[in-house]
Amino acid sequence: MYIIIIGGGKVGYNLAKALIDEGHEILLTEKDAARSAAIIDELGSACVRGDGCEVTTLTAVGTSRADMLIAVTGDDEDNLVACQVAKHKFKVPRTIARINNPKNETIFKKLGIEDTISSTNVILEYIREEVPTHPLTHLLTIKDKGLEIVEIKISPDSITVGKAVKELSLPPGSILSLLIRKGSKPRVPTASTVLQAEDQIIAVTNPESEESLRIALRGA
């Protein structure tokens, strides 16, 4: 695949290297003279100095034949514009934008850039996983299906301890897929499974039902 990466910061540079190793044809654009010179030293013609939001730069690097454009600069507005120019001017089939401010995720969607990766959110989720008291952790998002896979920990003070799954008022569309309990093998919870303190539940849900799922499993 021919993939264009906009922004030669830590993310762009490492992404370029990883994708080159996977055998893709990569072109990285970087505005800053010193930064681009350093990358060109290492990656050679895979890096070009230029503003990836400019039509001229994108024309020069052959954007119209690109399979994908990934904009990973530190400025959300630049990532938005690079993706929009690629999409509308060069008809690039797939564009991915990095989002630094999590608030912009919905804005980008409303403005037609569906594929976004919020680096701040990703880091937040990783940290949350490490915080043992956090009630609900996102493990995976399946964007095109609107599904989320989450982990919920049952704390000793949850009102659902000692209750069977069938007694819980689970929101429609949420499925409890796996029960992880200390000292026993992971298993699929059934209607008669009784919850215990410290149980970990892996569930499939959607963003709208996430809050009601948490309440159903742990109490308000």
Q: Which residues bind another protein (CB under 8 A)?
A: 53-56, 75-78, 80-81, 84-85, 88-89, 103-104, 106-107, 110-111
CB atoms within 10 A of CB 23: 8
Backbone φ/ψ region at 60: left (φ over 0), alpha (ψ -120 to 50), beta:
alpha
**Residue with Cβ nearer another protein (78 or 148):** 78
**Nearest distance, CB of residue 11 and another protein, angstroms:** 18
Do the bridges between strand 47-49 and strand 68-71 make them parallel or antiparallel, or are there none, so unpaired? unpaired
Ranges assigned E (strand) in 170-216: 175-180, 200-205
Helix extents (H) in the chain: 10-21, 33-43, 55-60, 76-88, 104-110, 119-130, 210-218
CB of 53 to another protein, least distance (A): 6
Q: Residue 78 or residue 199: which is nearer to another protein going by CB?
A: 78
Judged by CB, which is closer to another protein: 65, or 109? 109
85 or 165, CB closer to another protein? 85
The two beta strands, 147-153 and 175-180, are unpaired
Other beta carbons less than 10 A from residue 194's beta carbon: 13
Question: Closest distance between another protein and the C-beta of residue 111, in Å?
Answer: 5
> Is residue 97 within 8 Å of 116, Cβ to Cβ?
yes
Closest approach of another protein to the CB of residue 63, in Å: 13
User: Nearer Cβ to another protein, position 54 or 125?
Assistant: 54
Query: Strand, helix or coil at 154?
Result: coil
Q: How far is the CB of 61 from another protein (least distance, A)?
A: 15
